Chain A
Amino acid sequence: MASGNSQADGRALAAALRQADPKLSRFDPLPRIITFDDFDKGFCGWTQLVGNYEHSLDSMLPGYAQHSMAMLSTLPQWDFGSHGSFDGTYALKLASKPRKAAQNVTVKRLTFRKRGPLRLEFYFTFKPEATELRLSEADVRSIGFLYDLQTGDADADGARIMPHMRFLNALDGEHVQKWQFKRRTTEVKPIGNENKTISHYHLAPEDWEDLAAGEQKLCYNEIPTKINWHYVCFDFDLETMQATGFRCNDRVFDMSGFEPIRMPAMRNLWCMLNLAFFVETDVDKRAALYLDSVCISGDF
């Protein structure tokens, strides 16, 4: 067993090594890196969020049926070519269909080892498909992320917890630009007839609430094909199941009013640690969210 001092020395050494690594030094991870997803290495476990079904795909809720696979993208543009990613060739691209309010979701499915502090950091950008020679800054409705969590099977406080955050960029043509969260989901519906599968569409447009002082103007650039990368850090404590911190670029937000979606524990989801990103379009045009890179870390 390491003494307190040697443990502190070890952490300081690990932090120094990470700061000396150009790929990691733009992150501030907690002591244990759970995943570090640099999309020059591939898809890194990011897949399509398929909806639940039983016996027939027809039983899938429509919100999920629209989802498709994320892609590895060089952010290619018709007017100058590949933009490239933050620090290499490829970023993860999540694109909606070209229909107003269409959404897409990509998910990474893990379980947790310890209920304690969890830090999510990622760099992101978003753009509409450049089908028009105009700025189009209000064409992407929102981008966001969520955890889908459930306590361990031996925990006394069994629950499923789903913290949601989104940047509402635009709504019905208005360039809104603010962070929101969600504490309610849609009605849970049984799927099929075996009483084993249910579904609920937690990304329904209802019930988003404004984060306190959550307005933020992000760098969009000056034509629809130029992008800039943004940094997000979201802290969540798996012990208390409460958000403990959120920042985007130079802004640190007050999370005291934040609440996740809470619902009864489900029979097959113990220790679940799913992370998802989503994108939504505000017009009949594809919207895309790009990620490069994503780092999840914990204190254990």
Chain B
Amino acid sequence: MLVQSQAAVIARNETWSGTVATEPHEAGWAREAIFFVRALHDAAGAPGTAQVELSPDGMRWVPEGTVFDLPRRADEVTFARVAHFGTWLRLSATLPDGASAVVLVTLHLKG
């Protein structure tokens, strides 16, 4: 049997500023994941980093340990690989004062 695979757009054309997080994504069936963040426009200021978070219940979140840069220029893409994440995944970020980014975030799952 072929493994399952899904590409999910989890944030589309969202303007991120301050503290933000994607919606809880349940993916206990998957063994591995990649988050891609694409900037739809040039960021205002320096948007900083995003971090991967795990959860025991989809409501309470803890850092997974993976941190990566948010893209700064239109159509720039950054990403992070994750594995062994349990049931829930999300991406969160705290952008510095004055910074904002319009993003398309995709989650690619396989298992």
Secondary structure dominating the interface of B: loop
Q: Which residue of A lies closest to B87 (CB)?
A: A76
Rounded to whole Å, the gap between the CB of B20 and the closest CB of chain A is 13
Q: Are A73 and B6 in contact (CB under 8 A)?
A: no
Interface residues of chain A, those whose CB is within 8 Å of chain B, are 42-43, 48, 50, 57-58, 60, 65, 68-69, 71-74, 76-78, 82, 89-90, 93, 95, 97, 129-131, 286
Rounded to whole Å, the gap between the CB of A116 and the closest CB of chain B is 34
User: What are the 7 tightest A-B residue pairs by CB atom distance, in nearest-first order?
Assistant: A78-B57, A69-B8, A57-B13, A71-B26, A73-B26, A42-B4, A72-B29
Q: Are A76 and B29 in contact (CB under 8 A)?
A: no
Q: Which of B4, B6, B12, B58 contacts A76 (CB 8 A)?
A: B58
Could you say which residues of chain B place their CB within 8 Å of the CB of A77? 57
Q: Are A57 and B40 in contact (CB under 8 A)?
A: yes
Could you say which residues of chain A place their CB within 8 Å of the CB of B57? 76-78
Could you say which residues of chain A place their CB within 8 Å of the CB of B59? 78, 129-131
**Contact A72 B8, CB 8 Å, known A58-B13, A78-B56, A78-B57:** no
Given contacts A74-B28, A78-B57, 10 further A-B pairs with CB under 8 A are A42-B4, A57-B13, A58-B13, A69-B8, A74-B26, A76-B58, A89-B29, A93-B26, A129-B58, A286-B23
Could you say which residues of chain B place their CB within 8 Å of the CB of A129? 58-59
